[in-house]
Amino acid sequence: MKVVKFIKDKGNKYKVIIDDETYKLYDDTIIKYNLLSKKEIDKKLLDEILSYNDELLSYYESIKYINRKLRSEKEIREYLKKKEISASIINKTVKLLYDNNFLNEDLYLKSYINDRINLSNDGPLKIKRDLLKLGLKEEDIIDRLNTISSDIWLDRIDTIVSKKIKGNSKYSSYMLKNKVLLNLTNLGYYKEDILSILNRYDIIDSDIYLKEKEKAYKELSKKYSGYELEQKINARLYRKGFRGSGSYEE
């Protein structure tokens, strides 16, 4: 098989024409196999060249992927698998990435958790779940999360609770606390921490109660009157979390 021509391609690649076929090879491949000097190669050597070039492709593509942001080993493996790179080459690539410190799960954990603390409202349980999905070991995740002061999580809960209470215009204190509890639980905070903060707040909902009662009266008085109307109003208010008309004075 005759090495015919080299044509510069993008980046550190060349189009290498061998017989009537064109191959895109990295300059590292060309240098390793001394192709600039070789005029003839056999099929066995070509297969070896292409296999080595695939290893470089896997490695360089991984580095580009990591350079956008830090990645876990699982993310790298899934990324390379989508590019239809063989399992054996993926294994070699992962080892090489670890050897050259492009993959560093301690650094990944620290960076990931810090980003989630600074850029999201997510709590420790949600962060842990997401890290498990990314293939990180549970004991490593727990160890890293344990380095975060509990005051940080409590302050974040307090900020969210305060904002929800200030923005409340339609929920009873009972309903609001339940909604805030559900919201913060979904965000991954511990229930006992949420309740410890919620219980510090005395939510005054008398104005909302009166507004909802007036709204219910306007709607229900078209169909009901007297004692039945009062019962219907109270039932609606109860469903909204207002525990009986006797809680507030008109």
pLDDT (tens digit, 9 = 90+) per residue, 113-154? 999 999 999 999 999 999 999 999 999 999 999 999 999 999
- Measured between its terminal Cα atoms, the distance across the chain in Å is 98
Distance CA 5, CA 205 (A): 82
Q: Which long-range contacts (CB under 8 A, 24 or more apart) does 74-80 make?
A: 74/134, 74/135, 75/134, 75/135, 76/103
With vertex at residue 217, the alpha carbon angle to CA 216 and CA 220, rounded to the nearest 5 degrees, is 80
> CB neighbours (10 Å) of residue 20?
7
Its pTM stands at: 0.77
pLDDT (tens digit, 9 = 90+) per residue, 190-201? 999 999 999 898
> CB neighbours (10 Å) of residue 203?
17
Residues whose CB is less than 8 angstroms from the CB of residue 109 and which lie 6 or more positions away in sequence, other chains included = 131, 136, 140, 141, 144
The pair of structure tokens assigned to 146 is 């344990």
Distance CA 65, CA 75 (A): 10
Distance CA 81, CA 85 (A): 6
Q: What is the mean pLDDT of each run of 10 residues along the chain (250 residues)?
A: 89 91 94 89 93 96 95 96 96 97 95 95 97 96 96 96 87 86 97 94 77 82 86 82 48
Q: Which helix (H) or strand (E) holds 13?
A: strand 13-18
Tell me what pLDDT residue 171 has: 81
β-partners of residue 8 are 14
Fold entry, domain 105-148 = Arc Repressor Mutant, subunit A (1.10.10)
Helix 226-239 × helix 206-220 angle, to 10°: 130
Cβ 66 vs Cβ 107: under 8 Å: no
> CATH number of the domain at 3-99, please?
1.10.10.10
CATH topology match: 3-99 vs 105-148: yes
Tell me what pLDDT residue 244 has: 52
